[in-house]
Amino acid sequence: MFNLPYISLYIHIPWCIKKCGYCDFYSYVSKEKIPEEKYIDHVLKDFEIDVLKVNNRKINTIFIGGGTPSLLKISSIKKLLLGIKKRFIITDNVEITIEANPKILEYQNFIYYKNIGINRLSLGIQTFNSYLLKKIERTYNKQEAISAILEAKKNYSNFNLDLMYGLPDQTLADSLLDLNIAIQYNPSHISWYQFTVEPNTIFYAKNISLPNEHLIFQMFIEGEKLLKKSGYKKYEISSYSKNHYQCKHNLNYWNFGDYIGIGCSAHGKITQKNGKIIRTIKHKNVNHFLNGHYLHSINIVSEKEKIIEYFMNLARLYKPVLKKHFSKMTNIHINMIEQNIQIAKKEGFIIDHVNYWYITKKGKLFLNILLEIFLH
């Protein structure tokens, strides 16, 4: 029988106070009272259906994302977690993360999150510059961001700060100051990633001006030096952590693990006993979801898609790609891709060792070209 991989659970909460101009995640701006109790009931029913597909595996990580999950009442989040535990077995050392924004009404709940079993916080700071926060349409200021971090430190040893560089009007000094401020509060994890303007966003329609590529590259290089000097190890393209504080949930994604996705627009990847992988996408429309129509689509991942998706995920990590891991996670023998590997090796994208492949800096830089090699 095929060895089934670890499985995680992602729960999507689709509401926000305000839709940021750069955000392309699926979310609703709530103009009325959020129907949270009804939504939680349906999320748990959605979960019951997906549980039938996972062959009694234990859940190793849970991530409550959005949207803005911290908008929900503590009682709703407690009901959600208790409902999950009643319906499924989770591991004793499960990592449970919730995303939160630094607004007073939200960060006052951090102690209650801990009491109901949430053991990791992810704070969407983005920048400590109040002018830039306003520029990117965030709903808080520098002082609120710092107050939220102080509240997180009171209750959690494991918390992440999200920061961005390459913001509109941001200077090199601005970006490094953000990192210095974050580092002084000693978070266990920092997600530091480039600000981008995606299609189908308000900022894209407005053609927002960003710093030039040379300046963005300077921010990246100098920021990485600062993070390394401060004891943060880079383990993924935009993730830096202290020892033993890597995000287990995201690592499962990038290691091509399985995950159940429940709630509006959530995506799932579930491997079956025969090695086939199915992908699920839930309905985006919250009214459809609240009427019991959860599943939007389900499909079986082809052999070619498995290979592409595997390398696309593993290329994010700064570690060797074990050949036995590839076979274990895809149920495909490495001989099937030997010719592709040799082409990638010739191009300088991959180093081929006896037991593993290593994706070079060139391979990461030209990842799309590397992935195209596996299309043939």
Give me the long-range contacts of 86-92 (CB less than 8 A, separation at least 24).
Answer: 87/44, 87/47, 87/48, 87/51, 88/47, 88/51, 88/59, 89/56, 89/58, 89/59, 90/58, 90/59, 90/60, 90/62, 91/58, 91/59, 91/60
Amino acid in the structure at residue 185: Y
> Are 215 and 344 found together in one domain?
no
Q: Is 16 left (phi over 0), alpha (psi -120 to 50) or beta?
A: beta
Give yes or no for residue 175 having a pLDDT over 80.
yes
pLDDT at position 5 = 87
| Closest CA relative to residue 266, chosen from 280, 252, 250 | 280
> Are 243 and 153 found together in one domain?
yes
Cα distances from 6 to residues 9, 256, 270, 301, in angstroms, run 10, 9, 10, 18
> Are 234 and 332 found together in one domain?
no
| Closest CA relative to residue 163, chosen from 145, 147, 151 | 145
> Are 248 and 327 found together in one domain?
no
3-state secondary structure 187-226: CCEEEEEECCCCCCCHHHHHCCCCCCHHHHHHHHHHHHHH
- Tens of pLDDT, residue by residue over 266-283, are 999 999 988 899 999 999
Instruction: Confirm whether 313 is domain-assigned.
Output: no
Place of tokens 């996972």: 54
Q: Which residue has the higher pLDDT, 131 or 3?
A: 131
Q: Residue 326: give the domain boundaries.
A: 320-376
Among 219, 237, 252, identify where a domain stops. Answer: 252
Q: What is the helix (H) or strand (E) element at residue 326, kind and residue range? A: helix 323-330
Among 252, 278, 301, identify where a domain stops. Answer: 252
> Are 236 and 372 found together in one domain?
no
The token duo for 200 is 């189908």
> Are 81 and 212 found together in one domain?
yes
Q: What are phi and psi of 269, to 5 degrees?
A: -135, 115
301/279 Cα distance (integer angstroms): 7
> Are 90 and 235 found together in one domain?
yes
pLDDT at position 186 = 98
Give yes or no for residue 160 having a pLDDT over 80.
yes
Instruction: Confirm whether 206 is domain-assigned.
Output: yes
> Are 239 and 325 found together in one domain?
no
> Are 217 and 350 found together in one domain?
no
Does this model's pTM top 0.85? My answer is: yes
Instruction: Confirm whether 262 is domain-assigned.
Output: no
Check: CB of residue 23 under 8 Å from CB of residue 281: no
Instruction: Confirm whether 284 is domain-assigned.
Output: no
User: Highest mean pLDDT: which of 199-208, 259-268, 362-371?
Assistant: 259-268
Instruction: Confirm whether 133 is domain-assigned.
Output: yes
| Closest CA relative to residue 132, chosen from 101, 164, 180, 176 | 164
Give Cβ neighbours of residue 327 (< 8 Å, ≥ 6 apart): 333, 334
Give yes or no for residue 207 having a pLDDT over 80.
no
16/302 Cα distance (integer angstroms): 36
Instruction: Confirm whether 324 is domain-assigned.
Output: yes
Among 198, 221, 252, identify where a domain stops. Answer: 252
Check: CB of residue 299 under 8 Å from CB of residue 279: yes
234/301 Cα distance (integer angstroms): 31
4/27 Cα distance (integer angstroms): 32
The token duo for 288 is 């459809």
Q: How many domains does the chain have?
A: 2
pLDDT at position 238 = 96
Average pLDDT, whole number, for the chain?
A: 92
Give the rounded percent of residues in the chain with a pLDDT score beyond 70: 95
- Note the Cα 223 to chain centre separation in Å: 21
Instruction: Classify 317 as helix, strand or coil.
Output: strand
- Tens of pLDDT, residue by residue over 44-53, are 999 999 999 9
pLDDT at position 204 = 72
> Are 241 and 97 found together in one domain?
yes
Instruction: Classify 288 as helix, strand or coil.
Output: helix
Mean pLDDT, to the nearest integer, of 2-31?
Answer: 77
- Tens of pLDDT, residue by residue over 277-335, are 999 999 999 999 999 999 999 999 999 999 999 999 999 999 999 999 999 999 999 99
> Are 337 and 247 found together in one domain?
no
Give yes or no for residue 28 having a pLDDT over 70.
no
- Please, what's the b/e burial string for 32-51 (b: 16 or more CB within 10 A of its CB; e: otherwise)? eebebeebbebbbebbeebb
| Closest CA relative to residue 241, chosen from 128, 143, 317, 133 | 317
Instruction: Confirm whether 85 is domain-assigned.
Output: yes
> Are 247 and 358 found together in one domain?
no
**Domain of 112: which CATH number?**
3.20.20.70
